[in-house]
Structure 1
Amino acid sequence: MNFNADQLRQQIARGAADLQIALTDEQLDALLSYQELLHKWNQAYNLTAIREPERMVNLHLLDSLAVHPFVQDADNIIDVGTGPGLPGIVLAIMNPHKSFTLLDSNGKKTRFLFQARTALNLSNVTIVNDRVEAYHPQKPFDMIVSRAFASLADMTGWCHHLRAENGCFLAMKGQYPVDEIKAIEDKYEVAASYAIEVPGVDGERHLLRLLPRTSA
């Protein structure tokens, strides 16, 4: 492992410690391998606007890793608009006994996901190249996760058919989205809201857990 890779490994480890998330050596190695694969593919296929490996660690890996504690009550999870696997691949690495479906309509991004799943031996990952409105799974999901995917109105509107009876939405946002919440308050309620500080990332981060209103 060269010096740069060793630096990135230490950066991931420090960030996880700051998030109070314990990593095994195997998980740390897998996260580093994913970051390196993403950086390699990004040079040719423009999967993300973030180019520098050090910034990828903070803005992508650690930002996704911060979601890990909040998916522990779900077993069958879909990441809609996953892009190159954020947060889905990171969460799959951290939760090998949970099932993750990663959905994106962009073919080059899902081709990368197939490569990442093979390289990282992630048997708990299913990849779907489709529009979310057109995807009808055999089994609905306990949790629907999105990261910079759409407004809350669009997320809940497009994905409502994916949710199991007792399932929830988990939306990753920047600033607390007051107007977006008002737009859905007749149908959904914020069951929980978490302000998250991601190491090395300026700006606000909020994670919203949404449930249908019982009267809706």
Structure 2
Amino acid sequence: MFASDRLALAVRYTELLATEGVTRGLIGPREAARLWERHVLNSAVLSEAIPHGATVCDIGTGAGLPGLVVAIARPDISMILVEPLLRRTTFLDEVVAELGLGHVQVVRGRAEDVHGKATYDVVTSRAVAPLERLLGWSMPLVAPTGALVAMKGQSVRDEIVAAGAALETWRCAPPEVLGLGRDVVDPQTIVVRVSWADPTQIGWPLARRPEKARRRQDRRPVRGKAN
């Protein structure tokens, strides 16, 4: 999963997670011993769902899972890590500087804070929110021909059913469930991939509502003032 010239970077990142990450409360002490198998490799296989040269935005990245791991494995992509907590972004900035990851940018903020500023080929996340809520945070960042690619668990299909109305509102294509990392991780990493149904008519409800409200107001009859 990591090329020979990237493996040392991945190992160093894992070491920093197991030390500084635990000290700063970014990773639980019990997770330190199983970071490589349970978190790093599990995140790295997400690369299988990301096209060559893609622009990627990882929302709620935390300590860099999965975004920073994917960026270590894939120097061909451009990665934006979005995280609201200062202690996490401070750690991420330090790791990016130490590992020399010039293709990675750390942004402190919530996903909503970067809406309208840029769109990306892939918007990733890991254990951030149920799909129904995740759509509202991720889809405004998805380019017309891009996709949301979120790491999920065994209940992913239940989440898709629960998000049925939201998927329709956002004008999304039917979600795809993918198993990644065959022969690399066991069990495989499960992701849900959501793209736009029609790239020429992307749906952004938050952007459309004010326009609809104005149209409704314009259709109201003009009432004369009483004398």
Structure 2 letter corresponding to 1:189: A
Tell me the residue number matched to 2:222. Answer: none
Cα displacement (A) at 1:138: 3.7
Tell me the residue number matched to 1:184. Answer: 163
Cα displacement (A) at 1:46: 1.0
- Structure-to-structure mapping, 1:76-95, within 5 angstroms: 76-95=55-74
* Contact in 1 for aligned 2:126/2:152 (Cα 8 Å): yes
| Alignment partners' CA distance in 2, 1:92 and 1:112 | 16
What 5-or-longer segments of structure 1 have no aligned partner?
1-20
Tell me the residue number matched to 2:216. Answer: none
Whether 1:56 and 2:40 are equivalent positions in the alignment is no
| Alignment partners' CA distance in 2, 1:113 and 1:212 | 31
Q: Identify the range of structure 1 (91-100 vs 131-140) with the bigger mean alpha-carbon deviation.
A: 131-140
Tell me the residue number matched to 1:143. Answer: 122
Whether 1:211 and 2:190 are equivalent positions in the alignment is no
**Residue in structure 2 matching 1:107, options 86, 96, 116:** 86
* Contact in 2 for aligned 1:63/1:198 (Cα 8 Å): no
**Residue in structure 1 matching 2:179, options 190, 195, 201:** 195
Cα displacement (A) at 1:43: 2.9
- Structure-to-structure mapping, 1:2-81, within 5 angstroms: 21=1, 23-49=2-28, 51-73=30-52, 75-81=54-60
What 5-or-longer segments of structure 2 have no aligned partner?
204-227
Q: Identify the range of structure 1 (112-121 vs 86-95) with the bigger mean alpha-carbon deviation.
A: 86-95
| Alignment partners' CA distance in 1, 2:102 and 2:116 | 18
Tell me the residue number matched to 1:122. Answer: 101
| Alignment partners' CA distance in 1, 2:76 and 2:197 | 30
1:48-107 CA distances to partner (integer Å, 9 max, x unpaired)?
Answer: 225454400111111111111111256110011111111111111111121000001111
1:128 and 1:182, CA in 2 relative to 1: closer, same or farther beyond 3 A? Answer: same
| Alignment partners' CA distance in 2, 1:86 and 1:188 | 25
Q: How many residues align?
A: 195
| Alignment partners' CA distance in 2, 1:29 and 1:115 | 17
How many percent of aligned residue pairs carry the same amino acid? 30
1:204 and 1:99, CA in 2 relative to 1: closer, same or farther beyond 3 A? Answer: closer
Q: CA RMSD in A?
A: 2.3
Tell me the residue number matched to 1:133. Answer: 112
1:96 and 1:192, CA in 2 relative to 1: closer, same or farther beyond 3 A? Answer: same
